[in-house]
Amino acid sequence: MEIIAKNGPEADLLKTRLEKWLESVHAWHAHFIWSPNEKAAWTELHKPLSECRVALVTTGGVHLKTQPAFDVASDWGDWSFRGIPAHVNPGELMISDVHYDHSGPDMDINCLLPLSHLIKFADKGFIGSVAETHYGFMGFIMDPQKLVTETAPEVARRLLEDKVDVVFMTPGCAVCHHTIGLIQNVLENAGLVTMAMTLKPEVTHFMHIPRAAYVRYPYGYPLGPAFQPELQREIMRKGMELINEIEEPETIVKLPYRWAGSRSSEPDQSADARTLELITHIEEMMTLLQSIQADMENYQKDEQAKQVPSSYKLNFYKSQAERAKKLSNMLDEEAVYMVNGLRNLSGPIKYLREEG
């Protein structure tokens, strides 16, 4: 299990990213209140998942079409919640948040609210049962005071009343990671065990949350692309299994998934198709660089096998292999991260343009 380091270079990089993100948020929303939990809450699970009643909570702005939409026009956000029945028809659900690109979840809600997968898990015996009601929040909340003191505690009360043991949580937008961290702590303090997916570890890391699983996907896709149910269930299962594997609070585990665009046979899953094209080109560049690295390493082995190896050749091949590896890692870490940020902007831009 690969865990994000709490100290050292990796943590320093996350801190730098968090500082830059907070600067950008405050530039757009001067009244945003950064409110990390003072201490991570922690509730331990004392029975197997196969005996647990499980509920879903998302901050992606999901609700029934018959329910009032979340208030997307307010400068302060909307800290209310919507109850979602377990056996709802997916066609009865919608997303009213406008702060991220949810074109994929609009087509397949399981990217974000995996109700059908949860029901299948219960049918297969992976979990004990499915809660009667699940909950949708809108993660875009500038002042979370009422979220922490009113709405999140009310959801915790309802979940406990429904005899829920475990809550699986999914974010939508970037600010959602701030919101979901606050809700997660409220639920854990109430005695519920939570597992949150994260797409923005620099926020989750400093929110002091109980436990989380990181996938390198764009905002709005915590369980992967639309119309890939097997992959979605695999990610969800691995995330839930971590509940028994994580032994201390503030642990974020990296799962081995990274966005590579949607298959060509599937509908475009972005409000701006150019971002998918960028990801494709980055993948192609990484493949070429990895090929170069492999060649240089093989050349080193061939030269080393000679009776009198050339130190010049060995040093040259080694330096070229290291250069190719470094550039590949830069693309893998920073370029994909930046492109996913562009994807996040495409949805809001579309909304703003349509609003005139």
Q: Domain locations in the chain? A: 2-258, 274-355
Question: Residue 352 has what pLDDT?
Answer: 66
Q: How far apart are CA 37 and CA 186, in angstroms?
A: 10
Along the chain (356 residues), what's the average pLDDT of each consecutive run of 10 residues?
90 92 89 94 96 98 96 89 95 92 91 96 97 96 96 98 98 95 98 97 96 93 93 97 95 89 54 78 90 95 93 93 92 80 72 63
Q: How far apart are CA 312 and CA 294, in angstroms?
A: 19
Query: Considering the entire predicted model, what is its pTM?
Result: 0.85
Q: How far apart are CA 341 and CA 96, in angstroms?
A: 20
Question: Residue 355 has what pLDDT?
Answer: 59
Q: How far apart are CA 85 and CA 88, in angstroms?
A: 6
Q: Which amino acid is at 254?
A: K
Q: Cβ-count burial of 285 within 10 angstroms (0-12 exposed, 13-18 middle, 19+ buried)?
A: middle
- Residue 93, classed as helix, strand or coil, is strand
Question: Residue 268 has what pLDDT?
Answer: 58
Find tokens 């996040």 and name the residue: 344
Question: Residue 193 has what pLDDT?
Answer: 98
Radius of gyration, alpha carbons of the chain: 22
Question: Residue 283 has what pLDDT?
Answer: 84
